[in-house]
């Protein structure tokens, strides 16, 4: 290599090292910001009003959903609603008697059995691979091989 080319290689190598260092610092900063962002305790201390509003909104939503579920359940228990539902069910029975207690076809039964067997095999393989097989043997250190 000529002295000029050798100097150019060193310069480019130095630039690459500098860029690698800057990139490492940027990745570290992004990681720090990510962990701060998802640290709920830190965010609650930094933004107490927003945290209180978010917690109140979540409590209202959950409470509203529970109230709706309780109301719907009590509504379904009313005798008038139960009589209306029974009348509709009887009308469906009279309109489509062949749909009541219909047996699944042989093809559908076979497909369900095949899907079930496949699912069991996949789960077994995953469990065996993850929990029951020993980890692969690691190479012994050089000092242990020398003995």
Q: Is the pLDDT of residue 2 over 90?
A: no
If asked whether residues 14 and 40 sit together in one domain, one would say yes
Residue 4 has pLDDT above 60, yes or no: yes
Across residues 76-90, what is the average pLDDT? 90
Residue 133 phi, psi dihedral angles, 5° rounding: -80, 140
Instruction: Please indicate, yes or no, whether residues 91 and 57 belong to a single structural domain of this protein.
Output: yes
Asked if residue 91 and residue 59 are part of one domain, the reply reads yes
Residue at token pair 């749909």: 99
Is the Cβ–Cβ distance between 51 and 44 less than 8 Å? yes
Confirm whether 144 is domain-assigned: no
Domain membership of residue 72 (yes or no) is: yes
**Backbone Cα Rg of the chain:** 34
In this predicted model, what pLDDT tens digit does every residue of 96-106 receive, in sequence order? Answer: 888 777 778 88
Whether the predicted pLDDT of 13 surpasses 70: yes
Question: Is residue 3 included in any domain, yes or no?
Answer: no
The reply to whether 1 falls in a domain is no
Instruction: Please name the residue that has the structure tokens 């559908």.
Output: 108
Q: Are residues 59 and 85 in the same domain?
A: yes
Q: 91 and 57 in one domain?
A: yes
Task: Provide the number of structural domains found in the chain.
Answer: 3
Residue at 68 is within a domain: yes
Q: Which has more confidence, 105 or 146?
A: 105
72 and 42 belong to one structural domain:
no
Q: Are 34 and 68 within one domain? A: no
The C-alpha atoms of residue 138 and residue 144 are separated, in whole angstroms, by: 12
Looking at the structure, do residues 58 and 86 belong to the same domain, yes or no? yes
**pLDDT at residue number 115:** 95
Predicted confidence (pLDDT) at residue 132 exceeds the cutoff of 90: no
* Residue-number span of the structural domain to which 109 is assigned: 105-133
In a domain, 81, yes or no: yes
Asked whether residue 146 is domain-assigned, the answer is: no
Cα(89)–Cα(80) distance, integer angstroms: 14
Task: Answer whether 0.85 is exceeded by the pTM.
Answer: no
- The residue that leads in pLDDT, 63 or 141, is 63
Please state, for a pLDDT cut of 70, what percent of the chain lies above it: 89
Instruction: Evaluate whether residue 90 is within a structural domain.
Output: yes
């Amino acid at each position: 290599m000529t002295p000029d080319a050798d100097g150019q290689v060193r310069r480019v190598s130095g630039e690459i090292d500098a860029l690698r260092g800057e990139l490492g610092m940027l990745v570290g900063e992004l990681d720090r910001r990510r962990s701060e962002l998802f640290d709920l305790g830190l965010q609650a201390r930094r933004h107490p009003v927003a945290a209180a509003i978010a917690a109140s909104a979540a409590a209202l939503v959950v409470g509203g959903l529970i109230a709706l579920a309780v109301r719907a359940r009590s509504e379904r228990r009313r005798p008038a609603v139960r009589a209306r539902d029974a009348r509709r069910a009887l009308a469906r029975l009279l309109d489509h008697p062949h749909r009541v207690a219909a047996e699944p076809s042989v093809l559908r039964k076979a497909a369900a059995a095949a899907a079930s067997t496949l699912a069991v095999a996949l789960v077994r393989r995953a469990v065996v691979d993850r929990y029951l097989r020993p980890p692969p043997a690691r190479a012994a250190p050089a000092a242990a091989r020398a003995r």
